[in-house]
């Protein structure tokens, strides 16, 4: 019986089945609570859905604000193109389109169990891999966000988990095609989520260093991966140059995000009042100036504010740091005490424990001199900085949450080991001292 339970607990197929069941169950419950017409329209009334609608109706990659504003480089093209394909198949703003988009998100979040399972297995055995996959299967953020958010976070989570697995597996490969496949994986990821670009040079540099330490050729292989990534991005960059006559390698929206998070009207909790999608004055200003000039102006205003208000800026960055790691609120303790919702309390507590666990996991990996400490730690240490400086929304952390949970399991396993060791030492018979 114990052997059968152990086999079941480490079966990736059982983990996938549980993960899929939980997400489909929440999708069904969400649909029961919200009217059919509401879920058919409201989730798509944001930038990604508006761009997808423009694509599906033959107007090109444009108009992120539900009105005709011309070409845009608001985000990289992969996810809006997927949504546009769904609109073409099921109709724009229909229940079928919502169900298809949610099922796509659920499928991606469920499949993320696979690469994180094998990444954990490679780092420290099947126990770590299975425990991480189980934790991801029941992680509330990874159950709620795929249903509630029509953005790229779910696909990004699958890609990030795959990138981690590929990064720690690649040092053992001497085949050029594997390095090219690694570049293709990164190119695909950047076309889905441009924020991941900050991680690519760090992880590729680690791979080159490992190959150099092992006296293996690395220069040509690293160069091949870089070339493949560039080839994936070049068509989009060319399109942006033709549309705007400016060099926009991935996306243009950084200036606005920086300004929304850093101006004299910025609140501790982002409310979106100044965002052009809600604010008619800002939207008209955006249309009058054009996207590139508007983003440049907002970036300059934000930088001036940051430099002239260091104390306020430190406060805002601290709030965003707490929001990213608490599940979306800068006041997790107050909200935990005041909220009547047990479910919300559970989410806050889960996110708090995961954040502490990830920090402990990073420390444990480096103190134990684990060979994979650097590529695992890079994700939670580097990736969130883009949001500490701009905006912090709950979905922004989901792409790196598989790695965050892996680090949490590392900490839990180490704590269990220490506990067992202390118990063994306390119960061991004391040796008699020789006279």
- Burial readout 311-333 (b: 16 or more C-beta within 10 A, e: otherwise): eebeebbebbbbbbbbbbbbebe
| 428 inside domain | no
Residue 402: name the closest of 343, 352, 350, 358 by CA.
358
C-alpha angle with apex 299: 75 to 45, nearest 5 degrees?
Answer: 35
| 28 inside domain | yes
Asked if 361 and 409 touch (Cβ cutoff 8 Å), the reply is: yes
Helix extents (H) in 198-290? 200-213, 219-244, 254-261, 280-289
| 91 inside domain | yes
> 94: buried, middle or exposed (CB in 10 Å: 19+, 13-18, 0-12)?
middle
* 435 residues of the chain, pLDDT tens digit each: 777 788 788 899 999 999 999 999 999 999 999 999 999 999 999 999 999 999 999 999 999 998 899 999 999 999 999 999 999 999 999 999 999 999 999 999 999 999 999 999 999 889 999 999 999 999 999 999 999 989 999 999 999 999 999 999 998 888 899 999 999 999 999 999 999 999 999 999 999 999 888 888 888 999 999 999 999 999 999 999 999 999 999 999 999 999 999 999 888 777 778 999 999 999 999 999 999 999 999 999 999 999 999 999 999 999 999 999 988 888 888 888 888 888 889 999 999 999 999 999 999 999 999 999 999 999 999 999 999 999 998 899 999 999 999 999 999 988 887 777 767 777 766 554 443
- Angstrom distance (rounded) from CA 385 to CA 156: 17
| 419 inside domain | no
Three-state secondary structure of 313-359: HHHHHHHHHHHHHHCCCCCHHHHHHHCCCHHHHHHHHHHHHHHHHHH
pLDDT digits over 323-378, tens only?
999 888 888 888 888 888 888 899 999 999 999 999 999 999 999 999 999 999 99
Q: How many distinct helices (H) and strands (E) make up the chain?
A: 22, 0
Distance of CA 221 to the CA centre of its chain: 27
Range of the structural domain that residue 382 is part of: 8-411
Question: How many other CB atoms sit within 10 Å of the CB of residue 5?
Answer: 9
Three-state secondary structure of 190-215: HHHCHHHHHCHHHHHHHHHHHHHHCC
| 203 inside domain | yes
Asked if 349 and 335 touch (Cβ cutoff 8 Å), the reply is: no
| 89 inside domain | yes
- What is each CA distance from 352 to 27, 82, 115, 372, in whole angstroms? 25, 33, 24, 25
Asked if 400 and 141 touch (Cβ cutoff 8 Å), the reply is: no
Domain count across the chain = 1
Residue 315: name the closest of 261, 246, 393 by CA.
261
| 427 inside domain | no
Residue 422 is predicted with a pLDDT of: 67
Residue 432 is predicted with a pLDDT of: 46
Tokens of 84: 């546009």
Measured over the CA atoms of residue 403, residue 406, residue 408 and residue 414, the dihedral's sign is negative
Pairs from 265-273 (Cβ < 8 Å, separation ≥ 24) = 266/316, 268/315, 268/316, 268/319, 268/330, 269/323, 269/329, 269/330, 270/391, 270/392, 270/393
Residue 370: name the closest of 410, 340, 426, 415 by CA.
410
Give first-to-last CA distance, the chain, whole Å: 50
| 417 inside domain | no
DSSP-derived secondary structure letter, 43? G
- What is each CA distance from 322 to 319, 389, 394, 419, in whole angstroms? 5, 12, 11, 30
The helix, strand and coil proportions of the chain, stated in percent and rounded to the nearest 5, come to: 75, 0, 25
Measured over the CA atoms of residue 126, residue 210, residue 222 and residue 399, the dihedral's sign is positive
Residues in the chain: 435
C-alpha angle with apex 396: 395 to 400, nearest 5 degrees?
Answer: 105
Distance of CA 309 to the CA centre of its chain: 30
């Amino acid at each position: 019986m114990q052997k059968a339970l152990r086999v079941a607990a480490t079966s990736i197929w059982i983990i996938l089945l549980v993960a899929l069941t939980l997400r489909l169950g929440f999708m069904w419950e969400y649909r029961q609570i919200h009217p059919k017409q509401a879920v058919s329209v409201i989730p798509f009334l944001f930038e990604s859905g508006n761009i997808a609608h423009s694509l599906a109706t033959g107007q090109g990659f444009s108009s992120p604000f539900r009105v005709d504003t011309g070409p845009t480089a608001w985000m990289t093209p992969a996810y809006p193109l997927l949504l546009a394909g769904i609109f073409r198949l099921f109709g724009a703003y229909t229940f079928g389109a919502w169900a298809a988009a949610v099922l796509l998100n659920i499928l991606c979040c469920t499949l993320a169990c696979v690469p994180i399972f094998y990444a954990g297995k490679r780092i420290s055995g099947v126990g770590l891999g299975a425990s991480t996959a189980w934790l991801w299967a029941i992680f509330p953020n990874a159950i709620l966000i795929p249903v509630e958010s029509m953005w790229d976070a779910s696909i990004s989570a699958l890609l990030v988990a795959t990138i981690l697995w590929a990064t720690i597996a690649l040092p053992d490969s001497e085949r050029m095609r594997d390095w090219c496949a690694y570049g293709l994986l990164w190119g695909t990821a950047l076309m889905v989520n441009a924020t991941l670009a900050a991680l690519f040079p760090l992880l590729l540099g680690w791979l080159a260093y490992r190959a150099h330490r092992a006296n293996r050729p690395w220069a040509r292989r690293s160069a091949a991966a870089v070339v493949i990534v560039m080839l994936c991005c070049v068509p989009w960059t060319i399109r942006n140059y033709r549309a705007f006559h400016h060099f926009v390698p991935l996306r243009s929206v950084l200036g606005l995000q920086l300004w929304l998070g850093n101006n004299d009207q910025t609140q501790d909790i982002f409310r979106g009042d100044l965002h052009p999608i809600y604010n008619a004055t800002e939207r008209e200003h955006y249309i009058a100036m054009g996207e590139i000039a508007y983003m440049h102006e907002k970036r300059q205003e934000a930088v001036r504010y940051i430099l002239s208000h260091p104390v306020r800026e430190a406060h805002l960055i601290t709030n965003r740091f707490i929001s990213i790691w608490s599940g979306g609120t800068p006041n997790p303790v107050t909200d935990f005490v005041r909220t009547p919702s047990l479910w919300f309390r559970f989410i806050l507590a889960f996110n708090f424990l995961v954040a502490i666990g990830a920090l402990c996991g990073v420390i444990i990996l480096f103190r134990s001199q684990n060979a994979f400490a650097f590529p695992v730690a890079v994700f939670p240490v580097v990736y969130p900085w883009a949001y500490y400086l701009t905006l912090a929304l709950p979905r922004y952390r989901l792409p790196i949450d598989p790695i965050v949970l892996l680090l949490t399991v590392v900490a839990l396993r180490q704590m269990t080991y220490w506990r067992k060791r202390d118990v063994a030492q306390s119960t061991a018979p004391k040796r008699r001292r020789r006279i």
